[in-house]
Amino acid sequence: MLSNSIVLNPLFAGLNTEQQIAVSKTDGPVMVIAGAGSGKTRVLTYRIAYLLQLGVDAFHILALTFTNKAAREMKNRIGELVGFREARNVWMGTFHSVFARILRAEADKLGFPSNFTIYDTDDAKNLIKTIVKELNLDPKIYQASLILGRISDAKNNLISPAGYNQNEETISDDKKAGKPSLGLIYTIYQKRLTQAAAMDFDDLLFKTNVLLHNFPDVLYKYQQKFKFILVDEYQDTNYSQYLIVKRLAATNENICVVGDDAQSIYAFRGANIKNILNFQKDYPDAQIVKLEQNYRSTQIIVNAANSLIHNNKDQIFKTVWTANESGELIQLIKASSDLEEGRLIAQQIFEDKMNRQAKNTDFAILYRTNAQSRSLEEALRKLNIPYRIFGGLSFYKRKEIKDILAYFRLTINPKDNEAFNRIINFPARGIGKTTLELITTEAARLEKGYWDILCDLPQNNLGINAGTQKKIREFVIMIQSFQSEIEILNAYDLGSKIARASGLISNLQSDKTPEGISKYENIEALLNGMMEFVAKENNEIQDEESLKNLTAFMQDIALLTDADEKEDEKIEKVSLMTIHQAKGLEFPYVSIVGLEENLFPSIQSIGSRADLEEERRLFYVALTRAEKKVVMSYAESRFRWGNLTFSEPSRFLEEIEEKYLASSNIKKTYSGSASNPNPYKPKTSTRFSSPQTRTSIQDNESTAPKYTKIQSKDSEITNRPNLNFVGASIEELKEKMLVEHQRFGKGEIIKIEGIGSNKTAFVLFDEIGEKQLLLRFAKLRIVK
């Protein structure tokens, strides 16, 4: 069993026997089936720390995680255990980021430049739309998102365009579905990606497989390099990922996978639960370790989750149990509408916070779809509870950011047609639709990139008139001037130059709407990020020499995900996110909202048992995020697609054994509070709790529920009627005043600077921290 040296090793002191085995069995294949809350992350970090302690070179360890954030956190914890010098050298990251790095190093073998572009989902969809158009196919039948899904499926199962077109089954499936051209689209799509020196997300895995398959010397090299491989969230790997791992681990077989079949929630994007179920077949001598003790949650929560998941047929025998206290029953809230649901949940959080001295950060609200966040946000705002939404449109998905990034992309890789499309006439420079069509047609004919056609224009003007030709020439010269400076300027210097020279900055500066200002600020934020990037000490594994240039910056941010966005400031906030995003996280108090048929389980899943079971696992994941208390809610009616729809409680609610549910009579009449509209005067933000103001807002909203209200045409602000944002006159504003901004919420003026039209206020906002506002733009309402 365990040797003495292990028992006496302080690293093992805090681990139970099973965990100790999982950490210490460093030779040969190991699969850890880790129930929810059973210390999975702990095992992974300790295992790596132990390897380092044994003298394994950090460069020989590869750890694949589900998010970059998970990798970062793990690295930190390992650093704390065995020192950061070593920890930083471990290869740790998502499949996509780790293998993107390897692909860049080996790109020439695949016929790609090392600075290839990574197309995101939008780029990929746009490319598909272009192809569908070119083929004169009906875009309603050949919907970009559906086609991309199909292509993605193929790639995740390592089916190339050729393979796709040879497969009788797919061909006849597509024909039956009325989409016989799918194979052709896939073929062209892939050709265009190569021409654009671009890879989509799935290519990063697909091409890695090609690389490891076609180049035995490369495979050998990485097999020697990665002597120890660890994979987190193994239940959510797809076939393509599975095969990469299998190939890399083939010689040493020092592979440790950690996962929980009960938490597999990504089958919709190709994750294959069989990878975990078949591990023993691939490695007959594998050691299987089961972690079944839950350290996270109360008995009520663990047992309730167990009672739910037992309704699934496909699962690995496992009993999750806990020695924790029994805890509180699960609370179930019934609301009449989504708006009321929001109010009741917010109110419940408010009470729990008061009664238990809990912090905002102790609370999470989890939902099935992002669209559900609206009503919750509104309700939280009214109770002055700060919150943070994860997901939604992330920083890098905003238009203005994508615009400037497109300039960066075209500068780095002029073959990047999607970047080209985005910026060729933005800001408007008189290169219109007609001209563009000439260019794209010619590009398709010659199988060249759009940029190349522009560069050829002096020889072949395609009948473009002289004026437009001049404009094109100016554009070309501008981009070329950026290109010539990639190796000379650092990322920040070149980035700010591009922001100005492209006209993006002046374009936004002329936009005086709040949206325009916030866009301008976002560009500023991006440039600040670039400055940080340049200033930051190089703690990546890349060679010290690697420049902090634009190329490096783009590679740094290409695969960032929502979960990686920097956490802002010090204000403690309630977390709002989808259950998918909550994977791997834990909170003392968790609310799971929208437990209605057709929403959760989602309507798409109801038809098939496999899909339904995935939804159930999703609910299982949600429940097991909670440490102390779970609140569940559903609404009898809800706005969806702008329509009021009626709904039934989710079938999952019946599947939780009743004894774990509080027998609350469910309908807490919120209307009862009418006599006392604001019974819970928030203590948290006494600064702004001028009750008159708030209650007046509340009264307004609660007496006139949204859906009965006739929306006026100038809707922009109708969400918040009676908040008169005409803008206080500049002279009225003084330091220390409490003000409210339409977008940023309430805040205090810290100081006022400047004169005349340049007068600027520094406002510390409750929710988003300090902002500088040019008073001639900012519409502020004086609160006090």
Q: How far is the CB of 767 from DNA (least distance, A)?
A: 19
Cβ contact 586:296 at 8 Å: yes
CA–CA gap between residue 383 and residue 695 (Å, rounded): 10
Strands 626-635 and 91-94: unpaired
CA–CA gap between residue 336 and residue 341 (Å, rounded): 7
Q: Looking at 25, 26, 41, 195, which residue is catalytic?
A: 41
Token representation of residue 286: 């594998």
Nearer to DNA, 115 or 121 (CB): 121
Beta-bridge partners for 643: 640
- Give the chain's radius of gyration (CA, Å): 28
Task: Return the number of other C-beta atoms located less than 10 Å from residue 728's C-beta.
Answer: 17
Token representation of residue 740: 């409210």
Cβ contact 61:48 at 8 Å: yes
Nearer to DNA, 227 or 269 (CB): 269
3-state SS class at 330 = strand
Beta-bridge partners for 365: 576, 591
- CA 303-308-309 angle, to 5 degrees, is 100
Q: How far is the CB of 779 from DNA (least distance, A)?
A: 17
Nearer to DNA, 222 or 639 (CB): 639
Beta-bridge partners for 200: 119
Cβ contact 718:725 at 8 Å: no
Q: Looking at 106, 200, 232, 766, which residue is catalytic?
A: 232
Nearer to DNA, 484 or 604 (CB): 604
Side chain identity at residue 191, one-letter code: K
Residue 601: cis peptide before it, omega within 30 degrees of 0: yes
CA–CA gap between residue 664 and residue 329 (Å, rounded): 10
Q: Looking at 296, 625, 746, 771, which residue is catalytic?
A: 625
Q: How far is the CB of 470 from DNA (least distance, A)?
A: 12
Nearer to DNA, 201 or 350 (CB): 201
Q: Looking at 45, 170, 263, 322, which residue is catalytic?
A: 263
Nearer to DNA, 170 or 372 (CB): 372
Strands 363-367 and 574-578: parallel
Tracing tokens 């009672």 back to the chain, one arrives at: 307
Nearer to DNA, 528 or 711 (CB): 711
Q: How far is the CB of 15 from DNA (least distance, A)?
A: 29
Residue 566 per-residue DSSP state: P
Nearer to DNA, 145 or 326 (CB): 145
CA–CA gap between residue 502 and residue 496 (Å, rounded): 10
Nearer to DNA, 320 or 618 (CB): 618
Q: How far is the CB of 741 from DNA (least distance, A)?
A: 17
Token representation of residue 764: 């510390």
**How distant, in Å, are the alpha carbons of 426, 733, 771, 772, 775 from that of 757?**
29, 14, 18, 14, 7
Side chain identity at residue 184, one-letter code: L
Question: Helices (H) and strands (E) in the chain — how many of each?
Answer: 32, 23
624 is catalytic: no
Q: How far is the CB of 641 from DNA (least distance, A)?
A: 5
Q: What is the H or E stretch that residue 551 is in?
A: helix 550-557
Q: How far is the CB of 110 from DNA (least distance, A)?
A: 19
Strands (E), 318-419: 321-322, 331-335, 363-367, 387-389
3-state SS class at 757 = helix
Q: How far is the CB of 584 from DNA (least distance, A)?
A: 11
Q: How far is the CB of 335 from DNA (least distance, A)?
A: 18
Q: CB under 8 Å to 622, separation ≥6 — which residues? A: 366, 579, 582, 590, 592
CA–CA gap between residue 86 and residue 239 (Å, rounded): 32
Neighbouring C-alpha atoms within 13 Å toward the C-beta of 692: 2
Cβ contact 69:236 at 8 Å: no
Q: What is the H or E stretch that residue 752 is in?
A: strand 745-753
Nearer to DNA, 131 or 761 (CB): 131
698 is catalytic: no
Nearer to DNA, 12 or 390 (CB): 390
Cα torsion angle, 65, 71, 74, 75, sign: positive
41 is catalytic: yes
- Find how far residue 463's CA is from the centre of its chain: 45
Residues in contact with DNA by CB under 7 A are: 66-67, 94-97, 121, 129, 140, 143, 145, 201-202, 268-269, 368-371, 391, 399, 428, 430-435, 468, 559, 561-563, 578, 580-581, 602-605, 639-642, 707, 711, 715, 719
Q: How far is the CB of 645 from DNA (least distance, A)?
A: 10
Q: Looking at 86, 106, 202, 233, which residue is catalytic?
A: 233
In 3D, which of 658, 579, 609 has the Cα closest to residue 263? 579
Q: Looking at 18, 19, 20, 40, which residue is catalytic?
A: 40
Side chain identity at residue 462, one-letter code: L
Strands (E), 226-361: 228-231, 255-259, 287-291, 293-294, 321-322, 331-335
Cβ contact 46:11 at 8 Å: yes
Q: How far is the CB of 568 from DNA (least distance, A)?
A: 18
Q: How far is the CB of 526 from DNA (least distance, A)?
A: 17
Q: How far is the CB of 643 from DNA (least distance, A)?
A: 8
Nearer to DNA, 107 or 271 (CB): 271
232 is catalytic: yes
CA–CA gap between residue 372 and residue 163 (Å, rounded): 41
515 is catalytic: no
Nearer to DNA, 143 or 315 (CB): 143
625 is catalytic: yes
**How distant, in Å, are the alpha carbons of 161, 216, 653, 677, 769 from that of 211?**
17, 8, 48, 65, 47
The residues annotated as belonging to the active site are 40-41, 232-233, 263, 625
